Structure 1
């Protein structure tokens, strides 16, 4: 009886080890496959959730998979990070082991892309900017702060910008300019409305942005989106 118990424990340990090894290998291969669809130099991490991996892999069905990428270049934007949570994923065993993700599908995806303030600053021509969520809490407004000179003094001006995404282009349009305790001259306000109103191409964000919201977090611009019926072509 004791030998049987020991044998079962050893077998269980071997199966768990094999499961972990298979998961590691598949995550590495899928990461390489997805990275191959992104701009050169992109690095992707894959997390296949749930247990056991081997059972999921044999069936080609995965309840949840997370893909994450850092330091992406999205058109004129650099340093972009993205995370995509895929639900009810189908990927044949051969694809999981070879890194061929052409047949990958998912019922749903929840994506988040973070555009660093430094990249937004570059898009404005190098003007220093800070980003914060709108006081109203609206998912389609952000507050852009920047230093300007008013009457010989440098003051921080806040510009409220409406945010929308159409045809893979993020549009920021400044609607209001204010500075605490200081009147903003019309010429300065007009200049900011021009320089801080941006059209940023999102082609290259590795998830669909058709139904997306825009806000700011920790000083960066954040895009969140959900989509259904995802295919591999959507992850590029």
Structure 2
């Protein structure tokens, strides 16, 4: 042992070494926390700026929700391009019938230079690709159907929306059987038509009866046309039969055209899809500018 307290061989005591390592770890952790905080803070500023411009672009009453995807916002900000920015606006009214439409947009290749973002001079945001979607919920579909002002359809409650294959829509089941809904037959591909089953509860002869209308929904000029093909009625697990003439009249009451309004950024609608509880219209566009 020398006068300096260092053991022979010149190595530092284990206690000093452990303190140095501990300080280094703490410093690294503090730095990481600061970087994460800066990342979240910068992302919040960016999301707010995009939200303001999206509100103007969509003509919305409230600011939509904006979220930046990717591992690190700051890394994307330095490059000036963001891989994915998601915008969601809920409860958007469209004319008188549709009062609760959801608007969704995925923006890819969003360009926003860091200097303009920090300096507050960001006015226009070029976007490489946009995929837009509007979602029409069951309550709005029910309201549209009740617009026919018929005693039967105006009494329908608990309307549900479910996807079915177009084959199931056009194929009548055997006597006394229900339609078999094979999920594998429901096309996973998006197109301009899709099968849908609309079911609700209605009073017939004083009894609650489940009424299901099997229809084809089609994308026509940006709107959604519902073309009913056949119906099934069940009361307590038993089929209810209606005269063919009355069935045809009931089916005609479900023929409706829904106008979901414009897709985000004036994206051209290209597909209609059916999800549980929702009818969706989707479309894509390239090389757009947010804020123009």
SS in structure 2 of the partner of residue 190 of structure 1: helix
Deviates more, 1:98-107 or 1:136-145: 98-107
CA shift, 1:186, in A, is: 2.8
**2:186 pairs with 137, 141, 144, which one?**
137
Aligned to 2:221: 167
Aligned to 2:232: 178
Residue 77 (structure 1) aligned with residue 98 (structure 2): yes
- Structure 2 unaligned blocks of 5 or more: 1-16, 148-153, 165-180
Aligned to 2:269: 210
Question: For the structure 1 residues 185 and 100, does the alpha-carbon distance in structure 2 shift closer, same or farther, using more than 3 Å as the test?
Answer: farther
Aligned to 1:44: 64
What TM-score does the superposition give when structure 1 sets the normalisation length? Answer: 0.81
SS in structure 2 of the partner of residue 37 of structure 1: helix
Aligned to 2:141: 120
User: 1:48–1:66: 8 Å Cα contact kept in structure 2?
Assistant: yes
Deviates more, 1:160-169 or 1:202-211: 202-211
Residue 25 (structure 1) aligned with residue 45 (structure 2): yes
**1:192 pairs with 238, 250, 253, which one?**
250
Residue 104 (structure 1) aligned with residue 126 (structure 2): yes
- Structure 1 unaligned blocks of 5 or more: none
**Alignment length (residue pairs):** 231
Using the alignment, how far apart are the partners of 1:199 and 1:12 within structure 2? Answer: 54
**2:111 pairs with 73, 87, 90, which one?**
90
SS in structure 2 of the partner of residue 115 of structure 1: strand
User: In the TM superposition, what whole-angstrom CA distance separates every residue of 1:201-220 from its partner, at most 9, and x where no partner exists?
Assistant: 12234263522132131xx2
Equivalent residues in 2 for 1:58-77, closer than 5 Å: 58-75=78-95, 76-77=97-98
SS in structure 2 of the partner of residue 191 of structure 1: helix
User: In the TM superposition, what whole-angstrom CA distance separates every residue of 1:188-210 from its partner, at most 9, and x where no partner exists?
Assistant: 32232222111111223426352
Using the alignment, how far apart are the partners of 1:162 and 1:96 within structure 2? Answer: 50
User: 2:60–2:92: 8 Å Cα contact kept in structure 1?
Assistant: no
SS in structure 2 of the partner of residue 145 of structure 1: strand
CA shift, 1:64, in A, is: 1.5
SS in structure 2 of the partner of residue 179 of structure 1: strand
Q: Which has the higher strand share?
A: 1
Using the alignment, how far apart are the partners of 2:70 and 2:27 within structure 1? Answer: 26
